[in-house]
């Protein structure tokens, strides 16, 4: 048992009965602290989950990341290149002013113009498809694209609305964090932002969605796993996100606590490099060799050598779903009959021999040590599995800031305007935020093309024209059945070719005190409206 596990057992054994929940106040311990309340400033989950209590979108995503009405009550294409959005009437901003189409146009224009200093704004969603927009009347907006554009609703689910009568003239980010510009339409209103300490929001008495269930919600940052768990055990917080996976079994078995889980939209996978020569692959004697990962049989052998069930049970505390898909069950584009490869090291060795690598080779694999759940431990396990079939594998895990910079553009042969990934095999992740496979097929399976945006997450530089053609056509196909067929064909081709090597979908977990129930979300965010009392 880990030291943290022993501490947990001791606290559970000795603690007095937990006090009752504070009246109508929900306190949430979060792993990552929000840095800004400006909803156009960033796309980090830690920021978004707080912002979404205050600001809303035309299109919401339900707990399974499927589009549902938000500030727009309906949307439909009225011709091949124009979508019509009907806005919700009777909605007011927190200061009492009415929400209407002018606010939508202003929000789009603010993003399109660019926000100085913004680190990762959602403006790219407006650039996709060459979108332009116009208000037809106070409650009707038309958005036009350069061609058919089926994922308009999913795009707009990522663009929050801000108030035209409030935001102009305000300093981006700073005036949101102070509360001066943090006027939204959401179920909660800004109360306090104390960096390093807490963020507090209070119930919006005039919210169009009804009573959100809590008078006050407090977000308290606790980046250290043991500190966050201790805050829950001691009653300092009512619930936490990302409970340590090693302690999930003990929490589940204790009547004073409840654990909620859901399969995440985040795929964890190994991304092979496809250059003719790879810098981190050599023959057994250390001499250069042609890249063996370009042979699909080698990629399949590496997949068969991974014991995904052992990773799930021994590293993830049961909190993972072994995978051979690129989107989880229930998402648009999931292929039901693609099941995770069973652990078969003998078959893996046979495939290596068939491909001409029976004597193996040497490889260094890279990844982060602070981004995904147990990322460094998974990387070590994969290295051990591959070494056991004759591919001598070493690990280089590093902080995420260093890893992602090198993963994206750290290659020695890169130059301005042409990013060259550095690594030969890397553990990384991809979240399908909008609940459907179009983004994932385009992002990690299409050939990388800076001009079109295709393959923007394809850091191994895999390329398959048959997949490209289906992905491009899917992005132009309005008919859902036809688009589904294209996405599933592209996914099946990629998985049969082992374009990448899926390991698992993360399972999102939350732990809370008894007396609460929680509707978990695939996108990892913690929303107070989805937490309620059971007594």
Range of weakest confidence among 152-166, 277-291, 333-347, 404-418: 404-418
- Does the pLDDT value for residue 13 go beyond 80? no
Looking at residue 4, its pLDDT comes to: 47
| Average pLDDT in the chain | 92
Range of weakest confidence among 85-99, 112-126, 183-197, 254-268: 112-126
Q: Cα–Cα distance between 118 and 362 in angstroms, integer?
A: 42
| Type and span of the H or E element at 144 | strand 140-144
Q: For residue 98, what are its two tokens?
A: 């009415």
| Type and span of the H or E element at 405 | helix 400-409
pLDDT higher at 374 or 415: 374
Looking at residue 21, its pLDDT comes to: 55
Looking at residue 468, its pLDDT comes to: 97
User: Does residue 509 sit in helix, strand or coil?
Assistant: strand
- Does the pLDDT value for residue 2 go beyond 80? no
Looking at residue 263, its pLDDT comes to: 85
- Beta-sheet strands, E only, within 152-305: 188-194, 198-203, 216-221, 239-241, 257-272, 281-282
Q: For residue 215, what are its two tokens?
A: 């008078």
Looking at residue 416, its pLDDT comes to: 54
Q: Residue 114: left if φ>0, alpha if ψ -120 to 50, beta else—which one?
A: left
Looking at residue 121, its pLDDT comes to: 82
Looking at residue 218, its pLDDT comes to: 98
- Does the pLDDT value for residue 22 go beyond 60? no
% of the chain exceeding 70 in pLDDT: 94
Nearest C-alpha neighbor of 162 from the set 61, 269, 36: 36
Quick: pLDDT tens for 55-81: 999 999 998 888 999 999 999 999 999
Q: Cα–Cα distance between 259 and 516 in angstroms, integer?
A: 10
- Does the pLDDT value for residue 11 go beyond 70? no
Kind of pairing, strands 25-30 and 216-221?
parallel
- Does the pLDDT value for residue 394 go beyond 70? yes
Looking at residue 414, its pLDDT comes to: 59
Looking at residue 417, its pLDDT comes to: 56
Looking at residue 370, its pLDDT comes to: 84
Range of weakest confidence among 345-359, 374-388, 443-457: 443-457
C-alpha distances (whole Å) from 360 to each of 203, 500, 503 are 62, 20, 22
Q: What is the mean pLDDT of residues 378-399?
A: 97
Count, in order, helices (H) and strands (E) of the chain: 16, 20
Q: What is the mean pLDDT of residues 396-406?
A: 90
Q: How many alpha carbons lie under 13 Å from residue 439 in its C-beta half-sphere?
A: 22
C-alpha distances (whole Å) from 475 to each of 160, 331, 439 are 23, 16, 9
Q: Which DSSP state fits 16? A: P
Q: What is the mean pLDDT of residues 83-91?
A: 98
Looking at residue 439, its pLDDT comes to: 87
Q: What is the mean pLDDT of residues 267-275?
A: 97
Looking at residue 15, its pLDDT comes to: 45
79 strand-pairing partners: 82
Q: What is the mean pLDDT of residues 465-494?
A: 96
Instruction: Give the model's confidence band at 39: pLDDT under 50 very low, under 70 low, under 90 confident, else very high.
Output: very high
Q: For residue 472, what are its two tokens?
A: 């491009």
> What domains can be seen in the chain, in order of their start residue?
41-173 (3.90.76.10), 264-507 (3.10.105.10)
Q: For residue 169, what are its two tokens?
A: 């003239």
User: 10 Å Cβ neighbour count for 347?
Assistant: 16
Q: Cα–Cα distance between 476 and 70 in angstroms, integer?
A: 25
293 neighbors 282 (Cβ within 8 angstroms): no
Instruction: Give the model's confidence band at 434: pLDDT under 50 very low, under 70 low, under 90 confident, else very high.
Output: confident
Residue 290: is it exposed, middle or buried by C-beta count within 10 angstroms (0-12/13-18/19+)? exposed
Q: Cα–Cα distance between 35 and 49 in angstroms, integer?
A: 11
């Amino acid at each position: 048992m880990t030291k943290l596990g022993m501490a947990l057992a001791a606290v559970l054994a000795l603690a007095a009965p937990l006090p009752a929940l504070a009246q109508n106040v929900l306190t949430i311990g979060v792993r990552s602290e929000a840095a800004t309340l400006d909803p156009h400033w960033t796309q980090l989950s830690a920021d978004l989950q707080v912002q979404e209590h205050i600001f809303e979108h035309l299109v919401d995503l339900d707990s399974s990341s499927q589009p549902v009405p938000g500030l727009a009550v309906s949307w439909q294409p009225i011709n091949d290149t124009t979508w019509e959005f009907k806005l919700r009437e009777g909605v007011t901003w927190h200061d009492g002013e009415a929400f209407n189409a002018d606010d939508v146009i202003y929000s789009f224009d603010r993003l399109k113009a660019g926000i100085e200093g913004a680190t990762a704004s959602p403006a790219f969603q407006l650039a996709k498809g060459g979108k332009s927009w116009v208000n037809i009347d106070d409650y009707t907006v038309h958005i036009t694209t350069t061609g058919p554009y089926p994922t308009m609703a999913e795009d707009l689910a990522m663009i929050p609305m801000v108030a035209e009568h409030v935001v102009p003239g305000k300093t981006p980010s700073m005036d949101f964090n102070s509360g001066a510009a943090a006027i939204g339409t959401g179920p909660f209103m800004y109360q306090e932002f104390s960096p390093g300490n807490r963020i507090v929001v209070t119930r919006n008495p005039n919210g169009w969605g009804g009573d959100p269930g809590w008078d006050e919600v407090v977000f308290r940052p606790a980046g250290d796993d043991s500190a966050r768990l201790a805050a829950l055990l001691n009653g300092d917080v009512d619930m936490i996100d990302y409970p340590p996976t090693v302690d999930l079994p003990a929490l589940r078995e204790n009547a004073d606590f409840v654990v909620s889980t859901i399969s995440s939209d985040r795929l964890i996978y190994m991304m092979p490099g496809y250059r003719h020569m790879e810098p981190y692959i050599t023959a057994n004697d250390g001499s250069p060799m042609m890249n063996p990962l370009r042979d699909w049989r080698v990629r399949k052998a590496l997949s068969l050598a991974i014991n995904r069930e052992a990773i799930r049970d021994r590293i993830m505390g049961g909190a993972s779903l072994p995978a051979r898909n690129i989107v989880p069950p229930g998402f648009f584009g999931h292929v039901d009959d693609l099941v995770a490869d069973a652990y078969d090291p003998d078959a893996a060795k046979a495939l290596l021999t068939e491909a001409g690598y029976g004597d193996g080779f040497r490889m260094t694999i890279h990844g982060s040590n602070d981004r995904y759940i147990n990322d460094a431990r998974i990387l070590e396990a994969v290295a051990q599995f591959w070494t056991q079939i004759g591919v001598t594998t070493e690990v280089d895990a590093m902080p995420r800031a260093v890893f992602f910079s090198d993963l994206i553009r750290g290659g020695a042969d890169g130059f301005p305007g042409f990013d060259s990934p550095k690594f030969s095999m890397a553990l990384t992740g991809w979240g399908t935020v909008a609940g459907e496979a179009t983004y994932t097929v385009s992002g990690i399976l299409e050939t990388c093309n800076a001009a079109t945006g295709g393959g923007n997450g394809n850091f191994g530089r895999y390329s398959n024209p048959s997949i490209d053609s289906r992905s491009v056509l899917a992005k132009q196909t309005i008919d859902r059945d036809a688009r589904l067929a294209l996405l599933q064909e592209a996914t099946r081709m990629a998985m049969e070719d082992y374009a990448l090597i899926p390991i698992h979908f993360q399972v999102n977990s939350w732990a809370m005190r008894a007396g609460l129930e929680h509707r978990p979300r695939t996108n990892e965010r913690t929303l107070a409206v989805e937490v309620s009392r059971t007594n």
